[in-house]
Amino acid sequence: MTHATVAGAHRHAPPQGFLRKHVFSLDHKVIGKQYLDLALVAVCTGMILSWLMRFHLAWPETPIPGLAKLSPNGAAGGVITPEYYLSLMTMHGTIMVFFVLTTAPFAGFGNYFLPIQVGAEDMAFPRINMMSFWVTLVAFLVLISAFVVGDGPPLSGWTAYAPLSAVGKDAGPGQGVGQTLWAVSITLFCVAQLLGALNFVTTTLDLRTKGMSLARMPYSTWAWFITSVIGLIAFAVLMPACILLILDRVAGTSFFIPAGLVISDRLQPHAGGSPLLWQHLFWFFGHPEVYIAILPGFGIISHILPVFARKPLLGPRVMIACLVAIAFLSYTVWGHHMFLSGMNPFSATLFSVPTLVITIPATIVTLLWIGTIYGARLRFTTPALFCLGFVSVFVSGGISGFFLAQPSIDTYLHGTYFVVGHFHFVMGVAAMFGIFAATYFWAPKMFGRMMNETLGKWHFWLTFIGVYCVFMPMHYLGLAGNVRRYSAFTDDYLKPLIPLHRFITVAALFTGAAQLIFLFNLIRSRFRGPQAPDNPWEATSLEWSTTSPPPFDNFGGRPPVVERGPNEYGIGSGARGVDYGMQAAAARVSAR
Amino acid sequence: MTTVASSPAQPPGPPTPAAPPVVEQPRPRPAQTGVWIAIAAISMTFAALTSAMVVRGSAAADWRHFRLPPILYLNTALLLASSAVLEAGRRRVAAHLVWVTLGLGLVFVVGQVVAWRQLAAQGLFLATSPSSAFFYVFTALHGLHVLGGLGGLGYVLRRFDAAGPAPVPALGAAALYWHFMDVLWLCVLVLLVLRV
Amino acid sequence: MGKLFAVVVTIITVVSTAIFIAHTWWLPPDISAHGHAIDRQLSETMISSGVLFVLSQLALALFAWRFGDREDGRRVKPFPGGATPMVVFAAVLVGAEILTLTLVGAKVWAGVFQTPPDPNSLQIDVQAEQFAFYFRYPGPDGRFGATHPELINEASENFFGLDPARDTSARDDIVVPTLTIPLNRPIALTLRAKDVNHAFYVPELRIQQDFVPGLTIPLHFTATQTGRYEIVCTQLCGLGHYNMRAYIEVLPQAQFDQWLKDKAAQQ
């Protein structure tokens, strides 16, 4: 195995000056925190958008205080117009999927902890790493600018189906410059994530410290590594797709726009393109993307649960094999988003097979977590609760996928709130619980300060109960045929469902408010929490063998030597305090 | 510098096995690994464009075949030559050969722009036909990556100038990337010859 | 805290499952010839996934209740059999369920989307546009006139872009905003989109299909009950998407024939 200081690995001196230390930093830890801060801003924005949407659905004619000032076009008199609702929805989805679920669990925590967990001083290419953050930030700013430029943000959904997204402003408000900004933003985002994934993979392969074989890597590192591989292929496909979309919009090409379209009484000048081509390219990226969103969560739960169970993860090699299987299968299922799209119906059956087969490794990993807590000595800290909560909500979300995977059932459930409930449970809840678990677990290491446990537990309980109240009823709505992406429910058969929507809205607003507890806890602890020891949770992996927070080169110039895997919990006589074995050979921390 | 309290007593782990015999591990070369990964991602991008081209070609009957500007073949020869020069430069660790490569690479890019002008002179622009659209997209994307490769060569030349040992790993990585630009270009060329 | 977790998870599981079982919110009654197969597939999936859902949530709850750290120095216990029972259960039981659902489901799906329509079907042309559906019947000559996008004119209600002046088969085409069909007769729709993607969804008919610009997509079904039902758009098509609907009227054959005659006379 290699020593982290082998020539070829980029070594840099300690940073000097405010800009170098905190703004244009090459340090993966600072970059990780920058990603997390960006994700925090993004998630607050995305949540506010969702509150506006839910409020409008429940009380479509009630003015929302202050909104008229903020968006005089979209919400004259404080009442959201149908087109503005769709714009809010598009931005909500885009911000959450890209700038929260891909940044926080992967770019954020991964950047911070992957090098430390493999015993390296930094990522393999620190300058490229810094670039990847700044390009992500620019992408975010470009996206957000759609709120204030032209006639508003796009309204074609985060999926931006052509030709609605491709023909330009004839298709509706927001479909002018707003949609182009969206496409530019996503193109930049793809470039940034490719650069990031490059770093993750190279660091994992080449910069592991002495004794850190692949088999001894923590499961979070495995998950980040596998996620990066998925990302390298997925983002490499979305990028040209967005470029072709931009060309259709501004250069008069017709990749996605067929002949003979009459929009706003105007015969469109394009011809020959294929709307289904966009869907294929988009979902070839889009399905692996959702695994990019959840796989780090799998790794994080697998990493954290044993710490608080005081027991090794059950079946670690099976776990890793399942992660690899899921990653591989994720490339074979994209057509299950397109069963009714007009593609050859036989393809639907073909795609449904691997879609259902993915259930098998997903079931195995869930059972491995449940099996891990069998016979455990559970310590119910906040991160532990979020791990247990993750298992519960992932079961709920995964099960609804089982229905949608079957084309015959999807004939009824496609395009309904059943789908909305499904993907929110797996992405909006489970992946978020992974982020929460990671935050509570790693905050002491990142900030050198403990977060408040009481506030953490309040946050957990209100959120856990809240999300079930918000998203479980969506399955009932879907079974009743409630169509999604509607800004109002004016159909005869939908009107009786409005009371359930009001229940969901109230639950959503309460659950959103509960997140303020988290925000308050996070910000206050970051600056004023009690000092954190090096290893407050009695965990084994390398990040706990260094200080809280770690020195700029992670291990004080003395890289650790690894003697065992990450799973040594519940060993020894069982008496408290001596039931685990740390990965690093002996306590090695900076002497300076 | 962060000062650290002495760590608490390490819990005893399982007994460490006897130290394994020392085995020479191959030195990792992160720059090379990085380039291989970049090659995988870039290949995926071009694969996606290739499928898009095939699908678009069969979506409608508006594919207008045209003759590729002959200068493309000259550019190809230049690119291949530049790779040969760079390979020699890599083996001999010779900065001046890297300069030659840089020069040839720039001529290649200029030659591609000339090819575009020739196409435009025939009335074939981006939006004229799906065939011309893909021609421009493929060559532009490849050209952008070549410019990136030129940037990499420029970085290597700066390291040659700076004090310290010759940048052998960086040169190896840059050469790998540059040769890939050849391979990629040949694939694109074959695709264009067959379908455009 | 573990006991609280167990109680909360159990309550959530019981309440949500009860609501599913009670059909408090459920599919509307099926009025189609093929729908019973879909409903059966749905029920089968609901049962098997419901069992999996309840068992895993309750196992989680049970273990959280029982295996908290009581600080009594006891040792942790590995799961009996290790990871093997998990792999076996998933591969065998879940695998078997998947296989069954795939085989049965593929037939149900093929029955709707991969079989040709009955040769006796009533042919109806459907056009979706921002933000309405229009339906076209071939008229007494039994032939549809050709459509020309450049002739589409909303103001003169030439929604399909017909050219009756020069195209004789277009002269008697019947264009209406409501899909009127006879009971128990196979219907063969042809779906076209004027501008962007749309979709055709009638929950009671257990049928759904996207419209794709540039493609003409077939869809067929048979309605087995009279009545008036809503057709709604399920593919995001712009600001009026929420309001894009039409009605489908299923009439007894005799009444339908009369309706068709009346409409033909008006053309």
**Do strands C132-137 and C174-176 pair parallel, antiparallel, or not at all (unpaired)?**
antiparallel
Q: How confident is the model at residue B23 (pLDDT cuts 50, 70, 90)?
A: low
Q: Is residue A56 part of a domain?
A: yes
Which residue among C57, C209, C215 sits closest to A392, beta carbon to beta carbon? Answer: C57
- Cβ of B23 under 8 Å from any chain A Cβ? no
Q: How many CB pairs under 8 A join A and B?
A: 169
Sheet with C245-251, edge to edge strand ranges: C179-182, C245-251, C227-232, C198-202, C207-211
The CATH code of the domain that includes B137 is: 1.20.120.80
Q: Which of B56, B62, B128 to mutate to test the interface with A (most CBs of A within 10 A)?
A: B56
Q: How confident is the model at residue A575 (pLDDT cuts 50, 70, 90)?
A: low
Q: How confident is the model at residue B95 (pLDDT cuts 50, 70, 90)?
A: very high
The interface residues of chain B toward chain A in range 155-184, judged by CB-CB distance below 8 A, are 169
A374–C26 CB contact, under 8 Å? no
State the Cα angle at B33 between B28 and B36, rounded to 5°. Answer: 150
Q: How many CB pairs under 8 A join A and C?
A: 318
Nearest-CA distance from B59 to chain A in Å?
A: 6
Sheet with C186-193, edge to edge strand ranges: C174-176, C132-137, C122-129, C186-193, C217-222
Q: What are phi and psi of C68, to 5 degrees?
A: -75, 160
- Phi-psi bin for A160: left (phi > 0), alpha (psi -120 to 50), beta? left
C-chain CB neighbours of A472 within 8 Å are 12, 16
Q: Is residue A357 part of a domain?
A: no
A490–C53 CB contact, under 8 Å? no
Q: Is residue B111 part of a domain?
A: yes
Q: CA distances (Å), B132 to each of A397, B46, B58, B67, B119, in order?
A: 46, 16, 15, 10, 9
List all chains that touch chain B, counting a touch as 3 or more CB pairs closer than 8 Å. A
CB-CB neighbours of C118 under 10 Å: 13
Report the pLDDT averaged over residues B148-170. 93
Distance CA A569, CA A200 (A): 27
Which residue among C41, C109, C236 sits closest to A485, beta carbon to beta carbon? Answer: C236
Q: Would you list the DSSP string of A473-528?
A: HHHHHHHTT-BSS-SS--STTTGGGHHHHHHHHHHHHHHHHHHHHHHHHHHHHHHH
Residue A272 DSSP SS3: coil
pLDDT digits (tens, 9 = 90+) for A476-501: 999 999 999 999 999 999 999 999 99
- Mean pLDDT, chain A, integer: 94
Which of B93, B94, B75 minimizes the C-alpha distance to B146?
B75
Distance CA C33, CA C49 (A): 26
The angle that helices A177-206 and B30-59 make with each other, rounded to 10 degrees, is: 140
Q: Which residue of chain A comes nearest to B129, CA vs CA?
A: A253
Q: CA distances (Å), A68 to each of A73, A78, A80, A83, A88, in order?
A: 8, 4, 9, 15, 15
Label residue A272 exposed, middle or buried (CB < 10 Å: 0-12, 13-18, 19+): buried
Distance CA A323, CA A155 (A): 35
pLDDT digits (tens, 9 = 90+) for A346-405: 999 999 999 999 999 999 999 999 999 999 999 999 999 999 999 999 999 999 999 999
Per-residue model confidence (pLDDT) at position A172 = 86
Distance CA C16, CA A468 (A): 9
Range of the domain at A202: 24-258+269-273
Per-residue model confidence (pLDDT) at position A2 = 38
Q: Is residue B179 part of a domain?
A: yes
Per-residue model confidence (pLDDT) at position B6 = 41
pLDDT digits (tens, 9 = 90+) for A122-144: 999 999 999 999 999 999 999 99
Distance CA A417, CA C172 (A): 41
To the nearest 10°, report the CA torsion of B146, B148, B152, B155: 130
List all chains that touch chain A, counting a touch as 3 or more CB pairs closer than 8 Å. B, C
Contact A142, A179 (CB under 8 A): no
Q: What are phi and psi of C126, to 5 degrees?
A: -120, 130
C110–A349 CB contact, under 8 Å? yes
The CATH code of the domain that includes A74 is: 1.20.210.10
The interface predicted TM-score of the complex, written ipTM, equals 0.96
Which of A433, A435, A441, A437 minimizes the C-alpha distance to A532?
A441
Q: Which residue of chain C comes nearest to A274, CA vs CA?
A: C214
Which residue among C2, C82, C230 sits closest to A380, beta carbon to beta carbon? Answer: C2
Q: Is residue B22 part of a domain?
A: no
B52–A237 CB contact, under 8 Å? no
CB-CB neighbours of B23 under 10 Å: 6
C234–A477 CB contact, under 8 Å? no
Residue A587: is its pLDDT beyond 60?
no
Nearest-CA distance from A467 to chain C in Å?
A: 11
Structural domain count of chain A: 1
Q: Is residue A401 part of a domain?
A: no
Which residue among B14, B29, B61 sits closest to A8, beta carbon to beta carbon? Answer: B29
Return the higher-pLDDT residue of B60 and A530. Answer: A530
Please list the helix, strand and coil fractions of chain B in percent, rounded to the nearest 5, in that order. Answer: 70, 0, 30
Per-residue model confidence (pLDDT) at position B2 = 39
Residue B187: is its pLDDT beyond 80?
yes
pLDDT digits (tens, 9 = 90+) for A60-104: 999 998 898 888 888 988 999 999 999 999 999 999 999 999 999
Residue A147 DSSP SS3: coil
A570–C196 CB contact, under 8 Å? no
Residue B8: is its pLDDT beyond 50?
no
Q: For residue C127, give every residue at least 6 positions away whose Cβ sits within 8 Å of its Cβ, in sequence order, or none.
A: C133, C134, C135, C136, C159, C160, C192, C193, C194
The angle that helices C2-22 and A453-479 make with each other, rounded to 10 degrees, is: 10
Per-residue model confidence (pLDDT) at position A7 = 36
A-chain CB neighbours of B31 within 8 Å are 8
Q: Which residue of chain A comes nearest to B43, CA vs CA?
A: A236
DSSP state of A60: T
Tokens read off for C62:
């049970």
pLDDT digits (tens, 9 = 90+) for B39-53: 999 999 999 999 999
Query: Distance from CA of residue B129 to its chain's centroid?
Result: 28
Per-residue model confidence (pLDDT) at position B27 = 73
Q: Is residue B17 part of a domain?
A: no
Which of A352, A409, A407 minimizes the C-alpha distance to C40?
A409
Per-residue model confidence (pLDDT) at position B28 = 76
Nearest-CA distance from A458 to chain C in Å?
A: 12
Contact C76, A375 (CB under 8 A): yes
The angle that helices A359-373 and C95-113 make with each other, rounded to 10 degrees, is: 150
- Cβ of B137 under 8 Å from any chain A Cβ? yes
Tokens read off for A287:
């399905």
Distance CA A74, CA A152 (A): 8
Q: Is residue A189 part of a domain?
A: yes
Which of C118, C137, C117 minimizes the C-alpha distance to C126?
C137
Considering only CA atoms, give the Rg of chain A. 24
Q: For residue A85, give every residue at least 6 positions away whose Cβ sits within 8 Å of its Cβ, in sequence order, or none.
A: A53, A56, A487, A488
C20–A476 CB contact, under 8 Å? yes
Tokens read off for A185:
């933003």
Nearest-CA distance from A565 to chain B in Å?
A: 11
- Identify how many contiguous H helices and E strands chain B contains and give both numbers: 5, 0
A318–C106 CB contact, under 8 Å? no
Which residue among A262, A276, A359 sits closest to C98, beta carbon to beta carbon? Answer: A359
H-helix or E-strand spanning residue A585: none
Q: Would you list the DSSP string of B68-115?
A: PPTHHHHHHHHHHHHHHHHHHHHHHT-HHHHHHHHHHHHHHHHHHHHH
Per-residue model confidence (pLDDT) at position A5 = 40
Which residue among B4, B45, B55 sits closest to A274, beta carbon to beta carbon? Answer: B55
Distance CA B4, CA A546 (A): 9
Contact A549, A448 (CB under 8 A): yes
Which residue among B48, B133, B137 sits closest to A281, beta carbon to beta carbon? Answer: B48
Residue B5: is its pLDDT beyond 90?
no
Nearest-CA distance from C36 to chain A in Å?
A: 11
Which of A319, A225, A294, A204 minimizes the C-alpha distance to A567?
A319
Nearest-CA distance from C76 to chain A in Å?
A: 5
Per-residue model confidence (pLDDT) at position B16 = 52
Q: How confident is the model at residue A15 (pLDDT cuts 50, 70, 90)?
A: confident
Distance CA B119, CA B124 (A): 5
Structural domain count of chain B: 1
Range of the domain at B136: 71-195
Q: Would you list the DSSP string of chain C?
A: -HHHHHHHHHHHHHHHHHHHHHTSS-PPPP-BSSHHHHHHHHHHHHHHHHHHHHHHHHHHHHHHHHTB--SS-PPP-PPTTTTHHHHHIIIIIIHHHHHHHHHHHHHHHHHHHTSPPPTTPEEEEEEEETTEEEEEE-TTTT-PPP--GGG-BTTTTBTT---TTT-GGGTT-EEESSEEEETT-EEEEEEEESSS-EEEEEGGGTEEEEE-TT--EEEEEEB-S-EEEEEE--S--STTGGG-EEEEEEE-HHHHHHHHHHHHHH-
A375–C52 CB contact, under 8 Å? no
pLDDT digits (tens, 9 = 90+) for A300-320: 999 999 999 999 999 999 999
Nearest-CA distance from A139 to chain C in Å?
A: 25
Report the pLDDT averaged over residues A512-518. 98
Q: Is residue B124 part of a domain?
A: yes
Distance CA C244, CA C238 (A): 10
Q: Which residue of chain B comes nearest to A194, CA vs CA?
A: B41
B-chain CB neighbours of A14 within 8 Å are 1
Q: Is residue A444 part of a domain?
A: no
Q: Which of A255, A534, A538 to mutate to test the interface with B (most CBs of B within 10 A)?
A: A255
Residue A8: is its pLDDT beyond 50?
no
Per-residue model confidence (pLDDT) at position B9 = 45
- Mean pLDDT, chain B, integer: 89
Residue A196 DSSP SS3: helix
Low-confidence ranges of chain C (pLDDT < 50): none
Per-residue model confidence (pLDDT) at position A592 = 34
Q: Is residue A139 part of a domain?
A: yes
Contact A533, A561 (CB under 8 A): no
CA A268, A272, A274, A278 torsion: positive or negative? Answer: negative
